[in-house]
A and B are shown apart, each in its own frame.
Chain A
Amino acid sequence: MLGGVAFDQQIIVGMLFAIIFTGFSLALPGFLTIGNLFTLMRTVAVLGILGLGMAIVVIGRGIDLSMIAALAVPSGVTLAVAAAGYGLIASLAAGIAFAIAIGILNGFLVAYAEIPPLFTTLAVGIGVAGVGQSGLFEYDIVPWPPSLNSIAWIGRGALLGIPYSVLAFAAAAVVVAIFLRRTRLGLFVYSIGDNLNAARIAGFAVRPMVVLQYILSACIALFAGLVLSASSSNMDTRIFNLTWIYDVILVVVLGGIGLSGGRGGVLNVLLGTLLIGTIVNGMTILDISFEMQNFIKGMVLLAALLLDSIINPRNEETAQQGDI
């Protein structure tokens, strides 16, 4: 929207993606096949869905570190409720209610108590994960119950050769894109992210909007959680302890959505997700070790950020108070 610089990060990452993709296509036999490209996208579909949720919050100039907890615990609740014999509707309702509660808690603390989102969502995330780990489930790895098999397709199998998890990502991307670009509420998100005080003076209901952002990100996280658990037949609620949240931030930042808010969109998330997917897929085909893969991922992020700050240096005009 305001990224009117001709050579912005989106273009840099687009080029980086093109170079790496072409390189793998030429050097790796079996990389550039329809089958592998779908596998590639399937690998990062859940990450991409999470990135969409994170994008809404970051564009609104916040950050949601509780997304992995919101992915793991509410979907774990859905599976557990279904396993206990309640129906599909009741178990989904329980999960959605839990996710909305997390969003309201985050949003209330950020918007009304004015605690910085970084600390709020970090604490809420730890709290939610703690609730999950302190006996809510029998084991921390909750199996997918057969009674939910009627919706298991969201993470399994394929339609006309396209994996359902990729379609789920695509559907989420379309919904979020319409929300951000075609609805009034989406416009509010950009205005608040760009300049909160101006948005308030212009008469936007700023605080309820902030709460809505966190509710949306928690619900998107629940959706990602259901796709993930359907896909791998269980919900491993321990994933909160892993480094997933950094991958989500990586996708968003790498794609070019500035942490200072008000800029970027769904296209950036797609780009960031595809870049990460390509790197991970190529490295897996090359059988590169786990430590080396993490190292290379880190280096790519660093390179993208360095290039961005060289080409688009921060100055008084672009820097905003409260930048992370």
Chain B
Amino acid sequence: MARFASVVAAAAFGAMAMGSVAYAQESMNDPARDAYYQTFKDKKVVFVPVFMGLDLTEGWSKMMAKQAAALGYKYEVRNSNFNTAAGAQTLTSLISEKPNVIVVQNPDVQSYARLLQQAEKAGIHVIQLNMKTNTLTYGFVGADVVQLGELQAKAVTAKCGAGTSGKVLILAGPPTSPFSAYMLKGYENILKPNKNIKVVSVQSTGDYESAKAKSITQVVLQQNPDLCGILGIWDNTDVGTAAAIKEAGKSDQVFVSSSGGGGELSCKGIREGLWQHYVSYDVPGQARDLNDLISAALQDKNPVGSTKTIHYTPLVEYTKANIDKQSCWTLDTIR
């Protein structure tokens, strides 16, 4: 009898408990959620970089791959290995393969422009990453290179004012690369109105070769021993620029401004005095913005080409004064 009573009591208690639970937390599915995850099934995103094996491309790619794995769409990399013709070939075959999104890093402002338009006509969302052609597609994510050039030039003009020679060397990338053409525009915006600045040389480092940057810097330093500033193109290239200055024993005299994705080399460069000023376009931040745009493109039901979004990503300036507050990323720290 006592046993029966305890069973009843336990059952009653249990029922009460369950009732109160149901009353306190009524579960409900997010109505958007299932459809959201369903959207990504069987979709495909292809990344066509200029070159893998660099901190920039490896960083972007790692984060794109992570989002693809999390959301369940396919992600592929087709490396064009610094070969514009190979990249064009890849894009041509992608137009018939029809992935949902192509993420492309353009080697120059012209070569891929028509192919990207064709891809959009074929219904593929094209997102341009950091290096931009002269035509707009569904989206662009990357640095405002003109602004980047302006920031660098401002730092150099501040250093090379009255009382210095005002002599500046500009080291560019390949002549038609967006990072040369637009950046030169940014330099011009600041340097031209400045009376004290004298640009002694504007030279291309070829395909961002550090050896070439070094030999150009050596020749220009030889001709202009009182050189005041150098506007560099990219951290990896400017390792050569810095080596030339160091060998000439002019580390205290020549002010170098460089730029890049804000990887570990950027902090090392400031700390070791390879460059005194650095503009970072923050690869992990860019990759996050890029992933958002990819996700939006995969959910987009409008005809391709009806919307065009430009997303200039924030730029961060590194100097010796603030370097301890910056977090320079590595592939391991990317999450």
Interface residues in chain A, defined as those with a beta carbon under 8 Å from any beta carbon in chain B: 30, 33, 35-36, 39-40, 42-43, 46, 133, 137-141, 143, 156-158, 228, 231-234, 236-239, 241-242, 280-281, 284-285, 287, 289-291
- Min distance, Cβ A245 to any Cβ of chain B, angstroms: 14
Contact in complex: B219, A285 (CB < 8 Å):
yes
Cβ of A236: which chain B residues have Cβ within 8 Å of it? Answer: 209-211, 236
Q: Are B236 and A234 closer than 8 Å at their CB atoms?
A: yes
Would B54 and A140 count as touching, CB distance under 8 A?
A: yes
Asked if A291 and B175 make an inter-chain contact with CB atoms under 8 angstroms apart, the answer reads yes
Decide: A289 and B214 in contact? CB cutoff 8 A: no
On whether the beta carbons of A290 and B222 are closer than 8 Å, the reply is no
- B118 at the A/B interface (Cβ < 8 Å)? no
Q: Which of B55, B200, B206, B220 has the most CB of A within 10 A?
A: B206
B202 interface residue, CB < 8 Å from A? yes
Which positions 194-233 of chain B face chain A at CB distance < 8 Å? 200-204, 206-207, 209-211, 213-216, 218-220, 222-223
Pair A287/B201 contact, Cβ less than 8 Å: yes
- Apart from A36-B223, A139-B54, A232-B213, list 11 A-B contacts with CB within 8 A: A36-B222, A39-B215, A139-B55, A140-B51, A157-B247, A234-B239, A238-B51, A239-B209, A241-B81, A242-B207, A284-B220
**Which residues of B approach A to under 8 Å, CB–CB?**
51-55, 58, 81-83, 174-175, 200-204, 206-207, 209-211, 213-216, 218-220, 222-223, 236, 239-240, 242-243, 247, 265, 331
Q: Which residue of A lies closest to B221 (CB)?
A: A39
A231 to B207, CA, bound (A): 18
Name B215's closest neighbour in chain A (CB-CB): A43
Is the beta-carbon distance between B51 and A228 smaller than 8 angstroms? no
Q: Which of B52, B175, B239 contacts A233 (CB 8 A)?
A: B239
Contact of A242 among B54, B206, B210, B215 (CB under 8 A): B206
Q: Report yes or no: B240 in contact with A140, Cβ–Cβ below 8 A.
A: no
Cβ–Cβ contact A231 & B236, under 8 A? no
Contact yes or no, A156 B243, CB < 8 A: yes
> Smallest CB-CB separation from A132: which chain B residue?
B53
A234 CA / B239 CA spacing, docked (Å): 8
With both chains docked as a complex, state the minimum distance between the C-beta of B81 and any C-beta of chain A, in angstroms.
6
Contact assessment for B247 and A156 in the assembled complex, using a CB-CB cutoff below 8 Å = yes
Chain B residues within an 8 Å CB radius of A140: 51-54
In contact, B202 and A242 (Cβ under 8 angstroms): no
Q: A287-B203, A290-B175 are in contact. Are A232 and B247 (CB under 8 A)?
A: no
* Closest residue on chain A to residue B235 by CB atoms: A141
Alpha-carbon distance between A158 and B218 when the two chains are bound, in angstroms: 13
CA distance A290 to B222 in the complex (A): 20
In the complex, A156→B243 CA distance in Å? 8
Using A234-B210, A284-B201, A284-B220 as known contacts, say yes or no to A141 and B236 having CB atoms under 8 A apart.
yes
**Is A290 a contact of B204 with CB atoms below 8 Å?**
yes
- Knowing A139-B53, A157-B247, the reply to whether A238 touches B218 (Cβ < 8 A) is no
A-B pairs, top 7 by smallest CB distance, nearest first, are A140-B53, A290-B204, A232-B240, A43-B215, A232-B210, A241-B82, A284-B219
Query: Quick one: closest B residue to A155, CB to CB?
Result: B243
Knowing A42-B218, A43-B215, A291-B175, the reply to whether A232 touches B239 (Cβ < 8 A) is yes
Q: How far is the CB of B269 from chain A (nearest CB, A)?
A: 11
B177 to chain A, nearest CB (A): 11
Which residue in chain B gives the minimum CB-CB distance to A158? Answer: B247
* Shortest beta-carbon distance from B206 to chain A in Å: 7
Q: What is the minimal beta-carbon distance from A114 to any residue of chain B, in angstroms?
A: 31
Nearest neighbor of A229 in chain B, beta-carbon distance: B211
Find chain A residues with CB under 8 A from B211 CB.
46, 228, 231-232, 236, 239
14 contacts between A and B (CB under 8 A): A42-B215, A137-B53, A139-B58, A140-B53, A141-B54, A231-B211, A233-B242, A236-B210, A238-B82, A241-B81, A242-B206, A287-B200, A289-B175, A290-B203
